[in-house]
Copies of this chain bind each other. A is one copy, B any other.
Amino acid sequence: MDRVLQYIDAHQDEYVDVLRRLCRQPSIAAQGIGLSETAEKVEGLMAEAGVSPRIIPVEGGAPVVYGEMRGKIPRTLLFYNHYDVQPPDPLEEWTSDPFSADIRDGKIYARGVADNKGNLVARLCALDAMVHAQGELPVTARFIVEGEEEIGSVHLPRFVQEHRDLVAADACIWEAGYRDLQENIVLSLGVKGICYVELEARGANRDLHSSVATIVPNPAWRLVWALSTFKDRNERVMIAGFYDDVVEPSDDEMDQLRRIAPYRDDGAQHRDYGLDRFLLGVSGIELLKRNLFQPTCTICGITSGYGGPGSKTVLPHRAVAKVDFRLVPNQRSEEIFTKVKAHLAQHGFADIAVRPLGLEDPAKTPLGAEITKVVAEGARRIYNREPLIYPSMAGTGPMHVLTGERGIPTVGTGVGYAHSNNHAPNENIRIADFVDGIKHIAMTLHLYGGGR
C-alpha cells in the first residue's frame, strides 16, 4: 500500500484539478439544470480512472451513471454517490461564484464540492491510484451515481427494481462523511428518511392593495395558521399518529452514543453556529439521541407577498411553504404524507394544497458489520485516530431503497468537515481532507480485499 499512498501524494494536484473541473459544471436537480451534461462528465472521469462506465437513461428523470472495475477476489464493494447538487441560492452570500471552484486558503469552494462531488472524485482517484501503483484492485468496485439525490431520489426505486443485478454487492460505502469540529473522523451507519412537502395557499386571483384586507382572504394568514398547527413551541409535532412508529434507540445504540459523546464538544459546536445553547437546551448524549433518533418538522422556506426593503402595503394572493419531515425507523414516508394531508383537512385547511416533493424511508445498518470494522481500521491507519461510529446520520439518502431493503451492510465516510456548509452558501472542502479521503478509500479497498 505504500506505493499507492505515495502515488496519491505525487498526483494530488491532478486529482484536485479533476474535482474542480467537475464542480464547474452546474447540476442543480431542483431546477433541472445541467444534469445530462454532468452525467457525461462523470462517465468521462470514470473512463479516465479505468472504470467501465455506462450512462443509464431514467425515464422522466436524470440518468444514472453506472461504473464497474473488476477486482482480484470475488467480493464486491458498491459505492453510492450523486452528481446533482442543491440550488446555490442565496447567491449574494457567496464570496466566489458557486460554480467557479475557487481555491482559497487550501480550500475548494463550490456548490456540491462537499455534497457530493468531492467524495465521488476521491473514490475514482483511489481506484486510479491503486491501478497505477499496483496494477489491479483487490476487490470489485461498483458505482451507482445518481442525479436526483437532492430532490429525494425520485426515480431511484424504479431504477433499482429494474437493475437488481447492477446493485448487487457484499457491502456498500455510502456517499459522505466528515471531520467534526474536534477533527474526529465521523462514520455513520444509517440515514433518516424524509417527507418533503410544498404547501400552497391561494387567495384572490392577483395581489391587491392591502386596504381590502377586511374583506379578502389572505393566503399568508391561512398558511401561518395551518403551519402553527403542525408543531408546538416545545418542538412536539402535533400531526395525529406522527410518532406512532418511532423506535427508541437500542441498548447497543445507546452504548455507542456513550462512546461517542466524550469526543464531542457541544459548546464549541453551538458557539460555531452563533448560538448560546442548542434547541431546548440539549447537550451530550441527550443531544446525540435527539439528533439521530428523533424525527423533525422543519420549515425550509416560506414565501408570500413583498420581501424587499422597506414597506409595501400589499395583500398577497399566494403563499408557499416548503416543509421537510426527517423520519426515523420505522416511520414510512408515504404514511407520513397521508397523515399530513389528513391533518390539514381535519384542522379546516383543506383549501391548502399539499404536494410531495420527496419521499424516502429511513434505513440503518446494525452495529458490528465487517465493512464497518474495515472502514474504521482504514481510518485509524490514514488519520491516526479513533473514528467515531454513529449509528445513524441526521441526514437523508436513498439507503433504504438501494441497500437497506436487501440488508447490504452500508457505511458512510467522506471528505467533508465541520465548516463544509453543505446546502448553504460557500460550500467547501479542505484539499488536505480530499487527499486523505482518497487514501482512506484506497486503504479500505485494500483491507476489504484481505490486505494487511
Contact = CB atoms under 8 A, between A and B. Distances in A.
Of the candidates A291, A306, A395, the one having the most CB atoms from chain B within 10 angstroms of its own CB is: A306
State how many copies of this chain the complex holds: 2
Of the candidates A31, A151, A303, the one having the most CB atoms from chain B within 10 angstroms of its own CB is: A303
Given A210-B326, A215-B287, A274-B204, A308 B424 contact: no
A50 interface: no
A227 interface: yes
Nearest to A212: B394
Contacts of A196: 311, 313
Nearest to A278: B215
A231 B214 CA distance: 13
Contact of A215 (B30, B192, B279, B310): B279
B279 A217 contact: yes
A220 interface: yes
A211 B395 contact: yes
Contacts of A233: 225, 348
Given A87-B306, A228-B224, A233-B225, A274 B311 contact: no
A348 to B, nearest CB: 7
A304 B302 contact: yes
Interface stretch (A127-135, A162-170, A292-300): A292-300
A208 B314 contact: no
12 contacts: A204-B275, A206-B274, A206-B421, A207-B425, A210-B298, A211-B395, A213-B298, A215-B282, A298-B313, A299-B304, A300-B311, A302-B307
